[in-house]
Amino acid sequence: MDTILQTIDLRKSYKIGKIENPVLHGISLEIKKGEFVAIMGPSGCGKSTLLHLLGGLLSPTSGNIIIDGEDLARVSDAQRTDIRRRKIGFVFQRFNLFPTLTAEGNLKLAEKIHTGNGGSDGVNRREVLRLLKLDDKMHHKPLELSGGEQQRVALARAVVNNPAIILADEPTGNLDTENSEIVLNMFSELNRKFNQTIIMITHNPEAAAVCSRIVRMRDGLVVDN
């Protein structure tokens, strides 16, 4: 399999006054296209910081983040935003849906941001909604949906533009057991049917068990991958 993401000696520190607070101490990691990877570790070990760096939401202090041949650490902020828009889909624990838009409206907005214009003709959007069992919820707003349905809309929004990588930050953290299982099954189906590369942070061993690989972190380092 081809490598789709690679980090080389990736480091991140936050400066508080004159004091440097290191969070990541040199992460070197390689993800192959089509892998479904869980990142696990205790709170404060740097998992979310790593995910935000991989998604171009943060800039590293040093090191490289190569996504599909492009180095996020060596481009301008505008170029990083463009790479993120074209190649990365995000799924967050808190859904982050626009409350005034319907499920379809949230997907249309994602398409518009991705393409820079009015979006697609809707064919892929409808197929994604069907795959995630949301085709009868297209005209519902987030407050009219259950937590599990909202997370599926968030997942649909992440995949509607066929990103190279999906980054998921505790995507089942706010869901009950039944809805967690539904969402994880959807991730597995996307990975299996479409060879979608997925990197997921989770504290849940049952969620990690559906992944093809587990990367374990501790104290800002990868200790097992």
Mean pLDDT along residues 77-86? 88
Mean pLDDT along residues 66-94? 88
Domains of the chain: 34-56+76-224 (3.40.50.300)
Instruction: Determine the Cα–Cα distance for residues 45 and 138; give it in Å rounded to an integer.
Output: 39
- Render pLDDT for 95-136 as a digit per residue (tens, 0 to 9): 788 889 998 888 888 887 776 544 454 546 777 777 778 888
**Predicted structure pTM score:** 0.89
β-pairing verdict for 36-40 and 19-32 = unpaired
Closest CA to 11 of 223, 220, 225: 220
pLDDT at 119: 47
Split at pLDDT 50, 70, 90, the class of 29 is very high
Instruction: Determine the Cα–Cα distance for residues 25 and 9; give it in Å rounded to an integer.
Output: 8
- Render pLDDT for 134-166 as a digit per residue (tens, 0 to 9): 888 889 998 999 888 888 888 888 888 888 899
